[in-house]
Chain A
Amino acid sequence: MAAILPVAAAAMAQKGATIATSSPVIWHFLGYPFEVAGMIAAVFACGAARWWIGAAQSLRREHRWSLDIPVSGIAIAFSVAIVISQRPEPLSGLLYGAGLGMLGEGIFKIAENYLKKAGTVFGIDTDKPGE
């Protein structure tokens, strides 16, 4: 990685670069390879969406450490996981990240709904039927 000065590296690296002459940078996480460009796009989009939606809400500012940051962490972890498993192009990474960031707390709601459904299927919690 020659990205000590990223701007300079970006300015110099791609002089007439084509697909044949340059290949995307690939990093590894626990042995799984992924494209760094898609990862940066997804994490940026997720963080920006989380932060943008939350920045103006006094409720989330009040519960920053107990609510906002854990949920943001989960959303970012989900985008990282999706990028590693799907290995999307930067644009798709951007959309995945933005979608998950906007979903935010909704991730937990979806999980909860699935749990409720599982409960009705197995007959554990029949007095609270799933959707």
Chain B
Amino acid sequence: MTNTSFAAQAVANGPRTIAQPSFEGMGWLVVINLAFMTIATLVGMMVVIKLAGDAWKHRRLDTWLSPAWIYRALGIIFACGITIRCGAEALTLWGYDARDPVASGMYATVKRLFDPFAVTFGLSGLGLYICSEPGMIEQQRKEPFAIDMWLAWPMIRRMLWLGFATFVAAVGVVSTR
């Protein structure tokens, strides 16, 4: 067996645990991590796809740097960051296998490569928020009215079902492999 990369060597020469050694054999922790990383990836993808579709649909209405555009861009940027970060982590968690050190090491390296991009998304989101915050607050005070939080309830319900299914699947996978 030729383990060319350092990460593959670390997996090959480390303790032959079922999940990553850093879990210290706590199966419930693996379940929680697996489920939450997968849920976050799926929900992040849902939000990105929905908001990108909305942005395309209303591209004439919401012009460059209008409040609605900024608000939607914030959502897209943060959701992209969450999706990339948690997706890479979910890849390493799902793909870890001490019997296949080359793939496990590659996933770990892929995660390292993707993390800076995720942080870039997070920081640009923060930057956009900070830049737009004074003007946005001013804008939002002009006509005070309560926001109907339950307009998005169908989408939230879908996310909750997906999260529940993911949790069940994570428990099943961890307790049987």
Contact = CB atoms under 8 A, between A and B. Distances in A.
Interface of A: 3, 6-7, 9-20, 22, 24-25, 35-37, 40-41, 44, 47-48, 51-52, 55-56, 89-91, 94
A91 B95 CA distance: 5
Given A37-B176, A41-B94, A47-B165, A7 B46 contact: no
B31 to A, nearest CB: 5
B175 A9 contact: yes
A53 to B, nearest CB: 10
Contacts of A41: 94, 169, 173
Interface in B52-70: none
Contact of B25 (A7, A17, A44): A17
B162 interface: yes
Contacts of B73: none
B110 interface: no
Nearest to B155: A56
A91 B169 contact: no
Contacts, number: 102
Contacts of B100: 89
A40 B158 contact: no
A13 B162 contact: no
Contacts of B91: 91
Interface residues of B toward A: which range? 35 or more
Interface stretch (B2-10, B12-20, B75-83, B129-137): B12-20
A37 B98 contact: no
B176 A25 contact: yes
B18 A14 contact: yes
Given A6-B171, A13-B27, A18-B18, A40 B162 contact: no
A68 to B, nearest CB: 15
A11 B94 CA distance: 18
B42 A10 contact: no
A110 to B, nearest CB: 24
Interface string B137-177: 00000000000000000100010011001101101111111
Given A35-B177, A37-B177, A10 B27 contact: yes
Contacts of B162: 48, 51-52
B99 interface: yes
A89 B95 CA distance: 8
Contacts of B169: 40-41, 44
